[in-house]
Amino acid sequence: MNRRCAWAACLIVCLPASARAAEPPASKPASDPDGVAFFEKHIRPLLFEHCYKCHSSQEKKPKGDLLLDSRAGWNKGGDNGPAIVPGDPERSLLIRAVRQQGDLKMPPNNKLTASQIELLAKWVRMGAPDPRAATAAVAVDSNKGRPHWAFQPLKVSAPPAVHDDSAWCRTPIDRFILAKLEAKGLRPNSEADRRTLIRRVSFDLLGLPPAAEEVEAFIHDTDPAAYDKLIDRLLASPHYGERWARHWMDVARFAESHGYEQDYDRPYAYHYRDFLIRALNADMPFDQFVRWQIAGDELAPTEPLALAATGFLGGCAFPTQLTEAEFESARYDELDDMTATTGLAVLGLSIGCARCHDHKFDPIAANDYYRLAATFTTTIRSEIDIRAVTRSSARRGSPDPASARRGSPDPADTPDRRSPSIGDFRSGPEAGVRRPRHRARGLRRRAGASHQRRLPAQQSPRRRTWLPALL
């Protein structure tokens, strides 16, 4: 119970909300969080790759006297006036130039793709939020940020002394809280009555209100351990995993379609959702919970749940229709999403900012970003066939070859969606799940060959990780 409560208490939903496309009446402030997230993910990399060579403060003589490496630069504009009219892409010189409407055609040699032009137009419609303040490059010393307490190894700290811990402090953690309150001259609130307490706990753990009879039973329960029994009962509910899996799905940018214009369905995305629910309900250790999502196919290749967990890496929006010229950029966007999402979900850091430059606020150099991104270059988006756990096989304890050969399955051979015990997450022969039956070698060879044809030779490693992302 303690580990599950601690896991739920520490879960932070840190994935930024998607930027809204509604046209603003004026320029959005540079601090707008949705707009800044959109700019850092899509616009800054695009400008850096296609525009900075001619329109940055690093150039001795910027073309057309136009700077695009700062908000002040495009707002001032160049020889032809301001480059952007926030909120109005049709009147923005930059958008007309990249669309190559009229005499001004940018970039001069290679026109941007339709999706890149649309990203710029969407950014302008949002009000062109831009956090860049200075035109000159700012030197960042990542080493100065490393002593920050958040980057230090964990250590055991003695609970602080408090004036009176007899009535309120029930655990050592309470003493840390009370010490801070006392330092500010504050006292804790009085305890909630039982009717309020059961409602708060039920909403916190299950997201659902308690039934009227449950409230009355708790109010009149004279057992000193009544609250502990209530917590145990709520944690044992299957709704616990459903409630808290929703928060992690927000962090993991879970979706059941690919996004972009076609937005095709992902018919097997629910396997990742079910993994989250089952892991939480079975009280899976958090370190194993994270490891399986990042490398479950390598750490436990014979565990179906471990394979389903790798859907974490494949949850990003993905353009399902690509030209040959767009494939490489889409691949790197996919790797960036894996890297950035892992940083947000596991570290609570916006690692994606270091794709173009050393991080301005956190001690993350661009070299660190690319070293982390390189660990995902062997991942391959694919689907596999896995023999599901069934009620009959769970009773038999081993696969039934005869049942596997039958044209129609045994009526008892229906997927067992009951919450597993913690034993279901052990690896090895003792695990309580049926061994997978799949065509791993053929899938690995076909998927690997596909990527080797399209990626440059230096991007095709000899050893490929077989990642059945979003089964």
Locate the domains of the chain by residue range: 33-125, 194-234, 243-401+413-459
Global confidence as pTM: 0.57
How far the first Cα of the chain sits from its last, in Å, is 30
Average the pLDDT over 410-436 and give the result: 37
* Most confident stretch, 128-142, 276-290, 292-306: 276-290
Q: In terms of Cα–Cα distance, which of 421, 441, 419 is closest to 432? A: 421
Task: Tell me the percentage of the chain whose pLDDT exceeds 70.
Answer: 73
State what percent of residues in the chain have pLDDT above 90: 26
Asked if 120 and 86 touch (Cβ cutoff 8 Å), the reply is no
* Cβ atoms of 39 and 129 closer than 8 Å: yes
Residue 103 or residue 422, greater confidence: 103
Q: Are 424 and 431 in contact (CB under 8 A)?
A: yes
Structure tokens at 80: 């032809």
- The least confident of 33-37, 39-43, 381-385, 408-412 is 408-412
Q: d(Cα 241, Cα 245) in Å, to the nearest integer?
A: 6
Q: HSE (CB half, 13 Å, CA atoms) of 385?
A: 6
User: Which letter does DSSP use for residue 120 in this model?
Assistant: H
CA separation for the pair 382, 471 (Å, rounded): 8
Give how far the C-alpha of residue 10 lies from the chain's centroid of Cα atoms, to the nearest Å.
16
Average pLDDT over residues 191-212: 95
- For 349-406, what is each residue's pLDDT tens digit? 888 888 888 887 778 888 889 999 998 988 887 777 776 655 544 444 444 433 333 3
